[in-house]
């Protein structure tokens, strides 16, 4: 087409309109709602985010997110990955306790305050900050004494309780099917390749956490132990390595009444879903975990900003698929990349999906009710 003056004018106008639309979308996505409407309050409970700051005064936007979005939870880290600096949220026991008190004091609905305190190499509350030494799952599994595991976990649970942390992303119940797995076996995060050992060890961990009123989270469903790549970094396909025995610990624990949280993995398994990784898969989350295994608790995603998801799906697509799959809490750790507006963007996306009719209000209610039930059970327990 020849660029006549009129064509150039039309092109320029189109460019201006597109620019205005994109600017408006970005502004809306980063803005807070004007009022405390019921839909926003329910969606807010479905969002958990990470943030920077060792006190509320230092934190970016987390105060507004908690107060105006009714944010469901936060996740804390001792190290900020994007800037490669320590002291992100955790520097010592007194500072951490003050931070969690501040966070809870501004919340309309009590917050889930979570960490990854598995023990061994995955521990945010480290001895160098003044917290107790911990033992890896692999060492405990090798010892294979549930009483020893209970006592080791009780030390962790007591430290979490004192710190005001009420949720631990543990235990890992992935089977150690690949000892060289860079994110599970290679980091000593699995108790054992034997499902019976994993089940009994995990039960001891859960019992100890509950002793101190700390919520547990089984991970990473439907099994990450056989992978040879890391979902933090890219697409991870376990189609050829996964085995149904990896479901055995989930089945055992659920049949014995487990109903805290299950965290999904971002692994792709064409045997279970030929299109989407587990976190975004209705066949995995709803049909397998809920319908087949009978899980009635809260399902939380692994970090939605990991490259296995963020590198292959837009935020709008990944959030939609996760909710349609059956995810109750969308976790944005905000520590592979950092966006201070991530919570309000996530809420905006979910609101748009409901307003457009893509997601039904009843679907939001289902997650909200499960989250509320878990919070009522936890926060009504003796503190």
From 232, 266, 276, 378, the catalytic residue: 232
Q: What is the DSSP string of 33-47?
A: PSS--HHHHHHHHTE
Phi-psi map region of 257: left, alpha, beta (phi>0 left; psi -120 to 50 alpha): left
Catalytic residue among 78, 230, 260, 302: 302
Calculate ∠ Cα 170-128-53, nearest 5°: 70
DSSP of 114-175: EE-EEETTEESS-GGGTPPP---HHHHHHHT-HHHHHHHHHHHHHHHHHHT--EE---B---
- Could you tell me the strand order of the sheet in which 112-115 lies? 167-168, 112-115, 73-75, 47-50, 330-332
How far out from the chain centre does Cα 197 lie?
Answer: 25
Which structure tokens are listed for 66? 């908690």
Q: How far apart are the first and last CA of the chain?
A: 73
Q: Is 232 among the catalytic positions? A: yes
Contact 118, 372 (CB under 8 A): no
The β-bridge relationship of strands 330-332 and 79-80 is unpaired
Establish whether 302 is a catalytic residue: yes
3-state percent helix, strand, coil for the chain, nearest multiple of 5 = 45, 10, 45
The residues annotated as belonging to the active site are: 232, 302
């Amino acid at each position: 087409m020849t660029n006549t003056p009129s064509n150039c004018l039309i092109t320029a106008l189109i460019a201006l309109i597109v620019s205005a639309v994109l600017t408006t979308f970005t502004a809306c996505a980063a803005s807070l709602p004007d009022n405390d409407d019921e839909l926003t309050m329910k969606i807010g409970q479905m969002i958990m985010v990470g943030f920077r700051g060792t006190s509320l005064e230092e934190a970016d936007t987390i105060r507004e997110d908690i107060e105006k979005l009714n944010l469901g939870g936060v996740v804390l880290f001792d190290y900020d990955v994007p800037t490669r600096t320590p002291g992100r949220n955790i520097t010592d026991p007194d500072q951490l306790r003050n931070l969690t008190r501040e966070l809870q004091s501004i919340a309309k609905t009590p917050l889930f305050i979570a960490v990854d305190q598995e023990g061994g190499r995955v521990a945010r509350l480290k001895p160098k900050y003044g917290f107790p030494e911990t033992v890896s799952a692999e060492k405990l599994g090798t010892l294979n004494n549930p009483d020893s595991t209970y006592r080791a976990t009780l030390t962790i649970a007591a430290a979490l309780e004192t710190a005001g942390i009420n949720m631990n992303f543990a235990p890992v119940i992935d089977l150690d099917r690949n000892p060289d797995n860079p994110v599970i076996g290679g980091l000593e995060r699995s108790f054992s390749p034997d499902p019976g050992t994993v089940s009994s060890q995990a039960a001891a961990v859960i019992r100890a956490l509950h002793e101190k009123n700390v919520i547990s989270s089984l991970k990473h469903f439907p099994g990450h132990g056989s992978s040879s790549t890391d979902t933090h970094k890219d697409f991870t396909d376990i189609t050829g390595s996964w085995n149904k025995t990896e479901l055995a610990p989930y089945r055992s624990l659920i049949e014995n009444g487990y109903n805290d949280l299950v965290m999904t993995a971002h692994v792709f398994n064409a045997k279970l879903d030929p299109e989407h990784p587990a976190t975004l898969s209705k066949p995995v989350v709803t049909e397998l975990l809920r319908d087949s295994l009978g899980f009635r608790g809260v399902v939380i995603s692994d970090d939605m900003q990991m490259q296995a998801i963020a590198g292959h799906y837009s935020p709008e697509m990944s959030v939609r698929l996760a909710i349609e799959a059956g995810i109750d809490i969308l976790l944005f750790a905000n520590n592979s990349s950092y966006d201070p507006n991530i919570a309000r963007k996530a809420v905006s996306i979910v609101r748009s999906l409901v307003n457009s009719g893509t997601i039904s209000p009843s679907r939001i209610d289902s997650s909200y009710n499960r989250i509320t039930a878990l919070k009522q059970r936890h926060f009504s327990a003796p503190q």
